[in-house]
Chains A and B, each alone.
Chain A
Amino acid sequence: MNDTRLIRVVDDDPELRRSLGWMLGGAGLAAELYTSAEQFLERDDLHRSGCVLVDVRMPHMDGLELQRRIRRRGSQLPVVVMSGHADVPTAVHAMEEGALSFLEKPFTKDELLGVLGRALQRADELVQREAAHRADLARIADLTPRELEVMRLVVGGELTKRIAQQLGISERTVDKHRERILAKTGAESWAGLTLLAARLELVSGQPVEALATA
């Protein structure tokens, strides 16, 4: 059980909470149990991969509100909402708010594991996407602001002559920048750099400084 992904169970019903933990443990999944949405928000490490399994109906803060709070904290942790009722409006609402799935109690282990499987897959994707993003950022991390400026203009389709004019430098200097950019980012061609810039949304004219500090 080297899985680092953690399933957070948030349910005010102690038996349901404990039994879910017991079942997930039997299925080889790590679970953390929370008695309330408040306790989750107070203690959980949102950076840890996994998903949240939350009862929609709880006193004080309900499942939907918890999902809202998680998003507000900038986390994309997948949320699975459980409900004791076939309450269609609540289910629709939950999905609209970005819940990954809606489980009606009582559910079977297979149903739960199926939904959790999808949630964890989403979590893995998030992890990978984040890793790729970090790698992309690492490639441009050593570029000077001037080099970033030149790169943005090059991938934007500007010719060396126009760039030199725009920046008030010589065409030779522009060429030197281009060579250094290729070397620093490890790109083999400008086509590859164009894709990297697109992933980092450099083309849209976003201030380079903001990107560098992201």
Chain B
Amino acid sequence: MSTGRDQRQTEPGSVERTPAFPSDAFDHLVSQIDDVFWLYDCQRERVDYVSPAYDRVWGRSAARLLADPLDGLNNAVVAEHREEVRRAFLAGLESGRFEAKYRIRLPDGSERWIHDRGFPIRDPQGRVVHFAGVARDFTERKLTQDRLRESEAFLRATLDALPAHIAIVDPQGVILAVNRSWRQFAECNGLAAPDHAVGLNYLKVCDDAVGPDAAVAREVARGMRGVLDGSQSELMVSYPCDSPDERRWFELRVARFETNRCPLLVAIHLDVTARRRAEEQAVRQQAELAHVARVATIGEMAAGIAHELNQPLSAIANYAEGCLDRVGDDRRPRSDLVDALVHIRNLAQSSGAIIRRLRSAARKSEPRRSSICLNAAVRETVELVRYELETDGVVLEMQLADHLPVVQGDAVQIQQVLLNLLLNAQSAVRHREQPRLTIATRSGKNDVRVSVVDNGPGFGAVAPDRMFESFYSSKPDGLGLGLAISRSIVEAHGGSIWAERVDGCSFFHFTVPYSRPDIASGPPPGVSETGRRLGPAQHKEATA
């Protein structure tokens, strides 16, 4: 409201007679304007003028208002606003300023929102003689604002209703807002102050993290910056976040959204403990089944293993007997005895190795992830089946690639797959004229591939895929679990397994990825991780 203009228009009743502005032009102009101008005579307490827009906005005749200044108030302004408007007007006459927002009901029943303002017009002595005003229909804007407010409230309610802990983070990493779940989480974890971590710098907290969480925290910070600068579309990280009395898992997802000013990040922390437990349960069950199958397989190999142990044990006994016979004989060179004793020691060690291999293959353990060199796993497994192969005169060729990337996985389970494939191949070729097996490793773009090739009779009419089904077996005494379990193991490692017949040879391939695309989202279920506590709990450590 400009008071300067008020000063120039202080002559009472001069509005219609402005010399420079012909009155018909003024009327024309005013009729084009949707705002309603009015002029109130304070002395006579009546409306002197109201512009034509009044008829349109109010849906009432201006003549009635001129006849009764309270017509608009009493008959148009809705009852709930009427008293408020009346008081505001009277107060305005006193203070020289009037402003009110109110709703009017038109004769057709529709309603409009009016923004009404008035200002005084004074005589040369400074007395207020008139009040001039502008009433504007702002229904549209009001509706828009209401809708926006509703939508904000809706969004807020939605965010608050979500179980995930959500934080909005600005490009510098500062937490701008959090939802109710975040606040509750923060309160439960004694982090309510200050302000549920709003205002803290999320990125800095991650950057500064120390201890076992540091690696994951760093990964989160790196990922969030990547999402910010657009080099990655979103971030997903799972991490353990144990409460004092239970083991919990959280998953953090970070996505970017644009605002007029800058991009913002929404960081969603979801308690995935239940899902994680279910996944762990599934992994455990799979591991148990795998163990049963493994023990069964090793049972089938028992005779061979017994023989393999018998040989060194017999040799040890023989060497020892020979030593006992010679030890009292001074004429014999001592070096003979030393030589035999060295043999005894080496044989005892190699027997120990056989037992260790066997025990580790039969071991029942929680699935455990470690770095595996597949070449080493192949060699180890070949040692386990060496006797079986030799007995049947099977020639085994190993084609192991140099510089094979290390893969992540459960060594025992991977070895089980190798064992299954080798034993299957061995039983396929054992009655062949020239039984031959090849086991090869090869490095691919994203994975390491192991292939077991035999020159056996092949799969017959069976579709190669069927062989990977449970309880399918070509062997009369087979359980039919070997390949099915191999497949579940390989798939749990993110790889695949398949069979093909090429040029009279059967090929069984499996792959294990060495750079998992989701490696940033943490190891797969059932696998222990080192990172701990992120999200709200992270702040506790950082601010403590």
Contacts and interface: CB of A to CB of B under 8 A. Distances in A.
Interface of A: 13, 15-16, 18-20, 22-27, 57, 59-60, 84-85, 105-109
15 contacts: A13-B315, A15-B315, A16-B311, A16-B315, A18-B315, A19-B314, A19-B318, A22-B340, A23-B325, A25-B322, A84-B306, A84-B311, A105-B311, A106-B310, A106-B314
Contacts of B391: 57, 59
A17 B303 CA distance: 21
Interface in B294-329: 303, 306-307, 310-319, 321-326
Contacts of B321: 23, 26-27, 108-109
B390 interface: yes
Given A19-B315, A22-B322, A109-B321, 10 more contacts: A13-B315, A15-B343, A16-B314, A19-B317, A22-B319, A23-B325, A26-B325, A26-B326, A85-B306, A108-B317
Contacts of B323: 26
Interface size on B, as a range, is 20 to 34
Given A23-B318, A108-B317, A109-B321, A13 B393 contact: no
A16 B390 CA distance: 16
A57 B311 CA distance: 12
A109 B316 CA distance: 12
Nearest to A108: B317
Contacts of A108: 317, 321
Report which residue of B303, B318, B323 has the largest number of chain A beta carbons within 10 angstroms of its beta carbon.
B318
B272 interface: no
B306 A18 contact: no
Top 6 nearest A-B pairs (CB, nearest first) are: A26-B325, A19-B318, A26-B322, A22-B322, A19-B315, A106-B314
Contact of B393 (A18, A20, A60): A60
Contacts of B255: none
A15 B320 CA distance: 13
B429 to A, nearest CB: 15
Contacts of A26: 321-326
Contacts of A20: 318
B192 interface: no
Contacts, number: 69
B32 to A, nearest CB: 111
B505 interface: no
Nearest to A59: B393
B340 A15 contact: no
B347 interface: yes
Given A26-B322, A59-B393, A15 B307 contact: no
Contacts of A19: 314-319, 322, 340, 343
A18 B310 contact: no
A83 to B, nearest CB: 9
A126 B314 CA distance: 31
B319 to A, nearest CB: 5
A107 B324 CA distance: 16
Nearest to A109: B321
Contacts of B306: 84-85
A27 B325 CA distance: 7
A106 B313 contact: yes
Contacts of B303: 85
Report which residue of A19, A106, A108 has the largest number of chain B beta carbons within 10 angstroms of its beta carbon.
A19
Nearest to B321: A109
Nearest to A25: B322
Nearest to A14: B315
Nearest to A15: B315
Contacts of B343: 15, 18-19
Interface string B92-131: 0000000000000000000000000000000000000000
A119 B322 CA distance: 20
B116 to A, nearest CB: 109
Given A18-B343, A19-B343, A59 B390 contact: yes
A16 B314 CA distance: 7
B340 A13 contact: no
Nearest to B325: A26
A27 to B, nearest CB: 6
A132 to B, nearest CB: 35
A84 B302 CA distance: 12
Given A59-B390, A60-B393, A106-B313, A85 B307 contact: yes
Contact of A107 (B314, B316, B347, B393): B314
B19 to A, nearest CB: 128
A172 B64 CA distance: 189
B395 to A, nearest CB: 10
Contacts of B310: 84, 105-106
A15 B311 contact: yes
Nearest to A28: B325
Contacts of A25: 322
A23 B322 contact: yes
A107 B326 CA distance: 20
B393 A106 contact: no
Contacts of A23: 318-319, 321-322, 325
Contacts of B319: 19, 22-23
B334 to A, nearest CB: 15
Report which residue of A16, A59, A107 has the largest number of chain B beta carbons within 10 angstroms of its beta carbon.
A16
A15 B345 CA distance: 12
Contacts of B314: 16, 19, 105-107
Contact of A22 (B311, B318, B390): B318
Contacts of B313: 106
A107 B321 CA distance: 11
B347 to A, nearest CB: 6
A16 B311 CA distance: 6
A87 to B, nearest CB: 9
A113 to B, nearest CB: 9
A93 B343 CA distance: 34
A108 B321 CA distance: 9
A84 B315 CA distance: 12
Contacts of A59: 390-391, 393
A106 B347 contact: no
A24 B340 CA distance: 13
A18 B318 CA distance: 9
A26 B317 CA distance: 13
Contacts of B318: 16, 19-20, 22-23, 109
Contacts of A85: 303, 306-307
Interface string B124-140: 00000000000000000
